Amino acid sequence: MQGRTFDTPSASRCSAPPPEVEAVDVVGHPLPEVKAADNGKPPSQRGGDRESGGGSPLHDASSSTAQLLRVRQRKAVFFDRDGTLNVDVHYLHRPEDFEWIPGAREAIKYVNDHGFLAIVITNQSGVARGYFPESDVLRVYDWMNEDLSKIGAHLDAIYYCPHHPCGSVPAYTKDCTCRKPKPGLVLQAIQEHHIDPASSVLIGDGDRDVECAERAGVRGIKYEGGSLLEVVKRALHLFSIPSN
């Protein structure tokens, strides 16, 4: 597994845990009672295919929950990418084709300024379909952070699923447990970043985003157009989620 530096936002691909793991059990009901989080960032991790070797962090539901209860919890706003942060271009994989949704950059800065992690959760089946390599997902993500830095904003992490059951690239053709609306990516982020799901939201433009959020124990907000900044402000106010 290739690591990034401590201060660099992380990028992680789908860990594809065994299907028999019931994802909602990883979070468990006691998590909302955990104390609010600090703002420290964990060491970043990029990539890493754990499908054939070491265990996934989602494998042992009971020990995962116990471990989370021993640490101070953080809060996050999870964002879908295509159609939520950027204009939905069919299988977007080049920075030059990226166009921010109105208010998206400001929404991310608002999340940063109010003590929440800003994390992207995205399906990228174009990799499985052979339309672009996995490295393009990371290239676009790096460009997003470079552009956000111009206004003093940043994304803390991206979690992406490159798989699809009907793909054309054998290595990525599978029915994994992390492709939305399945909650694997959100649960992986919750564990690796010590996030309290009850104090977090997921914003996306599709019904599957809302379903994914609910299955992970996170509040789901459907983005239906307009300023994303206003949607984020209303979401945090509506759910009475205090900033750190």
What is the distance between the terminal CA atoms of the chain, rounded to a whole angstrom? 32
d(CA 183, CA 124) in angstroms, rounded, equals 15
- Catalytic, 205? Answer no
d(CA 244, CA 229) in angstroms, rounded, equals 19
Catalytic residue among 7, 82, 147, 207: 82
- Catalytic, 88? Answer no
Catalytic residue among 25, 49, 80, 147: 80
Which regions of 124-222 does DSSP assign to beta strands (E)?
157-161, 201-204, 219-222
Handedness of CA 177, 15, 32, 232 (dihedral sign): negative
Q: Return all residues near 42 (Cβ < 8 A) that are at least 6 apart.
A: 192, 193, 194
State the catalytic residues: 80, 82
